Chain A
Amino acid sequence: GAGVSQSPSNKVTEKGKDVELRCDPISGHTALYWYRQRLGQGLEFLIYFQGNSAPDKSGLPSDRFSAERTGESVSTLTIQRTQQEDSAVYLCASSSRLAGVYGETQYFGPGTRLLVL
């Protein structure tokens, strides 16, 4: 595909239920990031995947959050036992891994808007 895609675009769930969010990065992009954006706030880093390296999970807010990635393709973010404070937009971004000193440009998906009732 031409860009990063995410599904579902919207998700409404009841408190205590589990949800799974999906991200398809740009083909060939080895780096994949998940962010959380609460209403009116900035982007909060959650997790980073780079190729077959161990992911950086340092941004996950609790053990209810987990994420997986298959090779350099699809990633899923799972939130177990959802709470109302989990309501936010979950954004996925991917970038190609460039050697050297230059920063890599991230490209974002449209996000999944999660509402926990």
Chain B
Amino acid sequence: EDQVTQSPEALRLQEGESSSLNCSYTVSGLRGLFWYRQDPGKGPEFLFTLYSAGEEKEKERLKATLTKKESFLHITAPKPEDSATYLCAVQAAGTYKYIFGTGTRLKVLA
């Protein structure tokens, strides 16, 4: 069964304290892995799409990486405005459905 697991469920960081969020997946043929940021009361905001193992993408303080079993979202020198829930999703080969993890709630303290 296709599955996405995110860890940790919640993470508190001091401003400037770098860390990584994990997204482990089990899927029969990966078509794409997607990272989103969701602020309270808002819809998910697209961050990255990764298609194959070894691929990396960066945006400001965020960097997403992908292996055959998991993806990491690295946050370098985070700021309080990076506080949000980060969602990971995968789309498997031969399907149009997306499987979402339950997210990591990130809190960055000033």
Q: Which residues of A contact B87 (CB under 8 A)?
A: 42-43
Candidates B36, B44, B51; contact of A103 at CB < 8 Å = B51
| Distance between Cα atoms of A111 and B100 in the complex (Å) | 17
Q: Give which listed residue, B44, B49, B97, contacts A108 with CB less than 8 A.
A: B44
Q: Would you call B34 and A103 a contact (CB within 8 A)?
A: yes
- A84 on interface, CB distance cutoff 8 Å: no
Known: A42-B101, A43-B87. A109 touches B43 (CB 8 A): yes
Q: Does A21 contact B (CB under 8 A)?
A: no
Interface string of B87-110 (1 = CB under 8 A from A): 101110100111011110000000
Identify which of B46, B97, B100 contacts A105 (C-beta below 8 A): B46
Contact-residue bracket for chain B = 20 to 34
Interface residues of B in 36-54 (CB under 8 A from A): 36, 41-46, 49, 51
Given contacts A56-B97, A111-B43, 16 further A-B contacts (CB under 8 A): A4-B43, A42-B87, A43-B44, A43-B87, A43-B89, A45-B98, A56-B96, A102-B31, A102-B32, A105-B34, A105-B49, A108-B36, A108-B44, A108-B45, A109-B43, A110-B42
Chain A interface (Cβ < 8 Å from any Cβ of B): 4, 6, 31, 33, 41-43, 45, 48, 50, 56, 91, 101-111, 113
30 contacts between A and B (CB under 8 A): A31-B96, A33-B98, A42-B100, A42-B101, A42-B102, A43-B87, A43-B89, A45-B98, A48-B97, A91-B43, A101-B93, A102-B31, A102-B51, A103-B30, A103-B32, A103-B33, A103-B51, A103-B91, A105-B46, A105-B49, A106-B34, A106-B89, A107-B46, A108-B36, A108-B44, A108-B45, A110-B43, A111-B42, A111-B43, A113-B41
